[in-house]
Structure 1
Amino acid sequence: MDFGLWEKYYTEILEDLGFLRENDEKSALLLDEILSSEGCLTLDALSQFVDFSDKYIIFGAGPSLKEHVKFFKENYDLKDYVLVAADGATTALIEEKIAPDIITTDLDGNLDDILLANFRGANIVIHAHGDNIDKIANLTKFFTSVLGTTQSQPIGNLYNFGGFSDGDRALFLAVALNAKEITLAGMDFGEIITKYSRPNIETSLAKADDFKKKKLYYAEKFTQWIIDNEDVDIVNLSR
């Protein structure tokens, strides 16, 4: 999705959720500044890292995640796939001793597990938005092999492939990396959240609040956009 089209959806999201574009831009400028100093990945460099396969599995943090991780672990040779974890879904993979190839994160998942996966070779796609400026400032330097993204105008070292939540942004990234076959695991788009998406909840499952419901709405909307508009085969195990 080019930025001209994305900007129309982005404006809708800003108005619907009450976000300020200038805050997104401030976060993007900060992330770009850090990556300019610390070093970062380009899309070409990431493409070379994952050129062993055009088949992707993207793990979301929905209620079906753990079931799907075990299913793949027991029935598939995961070396044949590029494994992409959406933020907190990383924890479910680590629990099963699986290291993803890529993690898309806005840094609100379990950071210990994301750091461990990064140490084991996962590339980290850090996303800048207005609500994670402090995390961008304090945590980015701890990671290696970082590609930066923004939901506002792409600048400097940052990309905008489209997408809003960690899960659907992972889908847009896979398309940008020339994926031909994508399987979605743990992408339920329902009204139940898990400890993987919200590590601070007291139970393993909880009802989504109104804000999370809106995020899931947009995640499903953009997933459907990719199905309708991109040359890629997508199967959602939750469907």
Structure 2
Amino acid sequence: MEFGLWEKYYKEIIDDFGFSRSGDEKSAKLLDEILSTEECLTLNDLSKIVGFSDKFIVFGAGPSLKEHIKMLNEEYDLKDYVLLAADGATTALIEEGVFPDIVATDLDGNLDDILLANINGANIVVHAHGDNIDKIASLTPFFNNVLGTTQSQPVGTLYNFGGFTDGDRALFLAVALGAREITLAGMDFGDRVTKYSRPDMSQDVGDADEFKKKKLVYAEEFTKWILENEPVEIVNLLN
């Protein structure tokens, strides 16, 4: 999605949630400053790394995630797919002995598991927004093979492929990387959340709060936009 089109949705999201554009821009500037001092990834770099396949599996952190991972492990040859985990879904994958090729994260998942995935070869796509400035500053330097994204105007080394939540941003990233087939695992778009998306939860699955429900509505809408506007086949394992 070109930024000119994305900006229309972005303004709607800012108004709907009361987010600060200046906060997003400040976080983006900080992430760019950090990545500019390191050997960060470009989109072309990442495209070459995952160029072995145009078939992607995007893992969200919904209630169906573990069931889908187990099924995929049994019935699919995962080596034929680029495995793209949305933030906390990384933990569920590691629990099943699977390491993703890419993790798309705004750094609110289980950081130990995301770092472990990175050590085992995962490329980390770090997303800057106004609410994670402290984490951008303190955590980004620990990762290798990092590509930076923002939800505001791209600056410096950063990209904006479109998307709002970790899950649908992962879908837009897959499209930017040349995906022609995307399988969705753990992408429920419902009103229940898991410990993988909310690490501070005491139970495995619980009710989403109104904030999260509203975010999931946008995630589903952007997923439909990709299906209707991009040359990619999307298969949701829930269907």
Which of the five TM-score ranges fits, normalised by the shorter chain?
A: over 0.9
In structure 1, C-alpha distance between the alignment counterparts of 2:203 and 2:97, rounded to whole Å? 23
1:109-154 per-position Cα deviation (integer Å, ceiling 9, x unaligned): 0001000000000000000000000000000000000000000000
Deviation (angstroms), 1:39: 2.1
AA at the equivalent of 2:220: E
In structure 2, C-alpha distance between the alignment counterparts of 1:185 and 1:76, rounded to whole Å? 13
1:1-26 per-position Cα deviation (integer Å, ceiling 9, x unaligned): 10000000000000000001000000
Residue of structure 1 in register with 2:228 after alignment: 228
AA at the equivalent of 2:74: E
In structure 2, C-alpha distance between the alignment counterparts of 1:38 and 1:79, rounded to whole Å? 30
In structure 2, C-alpha distance between the alignment counterparts of 1:171 and 1:155, rounded to whole Å? 21
Residue of structure 2 in register with 1:186 after alignment: 186
In structure 2, C-alpha distance between the alignment counterparts of 1:132 and 1:230, rounded to whole Å? 30
Residue of structure 1 in register with 2:74 after alignment: 74
Residue of structure 2 in register with 1:168 after alignment: 168
- Normalization by structure 1: what TM-score? 0.99
Residue of structure 1 in register with 2:50 after alignment: 50
Deviation (angstroms), 1:38: 1.9
AA at the equivalent of 1:61: A
AA at the equivalent of 2:141: K
Deviation (angstroms), 1:238: 1.6
**What's the C-alpha RMSD, in Å, of the aligned pairs?**
0.4
Superposition pairs of residues 25-174 of structure 1, within 5 angstroms: 25-174=25-174
AA at the equivalent of 2:5: L
- Normalization by structure 2: what TM-score? 0.99
SS across alignment from 2:45: helix
In structure 1, C-alpha distance between the alignment counterparts of 2:31 and 2:85, rounded to whole Å? 21
Which ranges in structure 1 are unaligned for 5 or more consecutive residues? none
In structure 2, C-alpha distance between the alignment counterparts of 1:101 and 1:187, rounded to whole Å? 18
In structure 2, C-alpha distance between the alignment counterparts of 1:39 and 1:220, rounded to whole Å? 34
AA at the equivalent of 1:235: V
In structure 2, C-alpha distance between the alignment counterparts of 1:171 and 1:76, rounded to whole Å? 20
- Paired residue total: 239
1:52-93 per-position Cα deviation (integer Å, ceiling 9, x unaligned): 000000000000000000000011110000000000000010
In structure 2, C-alpha distance between the alignment counterparts of 1:57 and 1:85, rounded to whole Å? 8
In structure 2, C-alpha distance between the alignment counterparts of 1:204 and 1:73, rounded to whole Å? 21
In structure 2, C-alpha distance between the alignment counterparts of 1:17 and 1:206, rounded to whole Å? 22
In structure 2, C-alpha distance between the alignment counterparts of 1:238 and 1:110, rounded to whole Å? 25
Give every structure 1 segment of 4 or more consecutive aligned residues whose post-TM-superposition deviation is greater than 6 Å: none
In structure 2, C-alpha distance between the alignment counterparts of 1:39 and 1:48, rounded to whole Å? 16
Which ranges in structure 2 are unaligned for 5 or more consecutive residues? none
In structure 1, C-alpha distance between the alignment counterparts of 2:199 and 2:39, rounded to whole Å? 29
1:145-170 per-position Cα deviation (integer Å, ceiling 9, x unaligned): 00000000001000000000000000
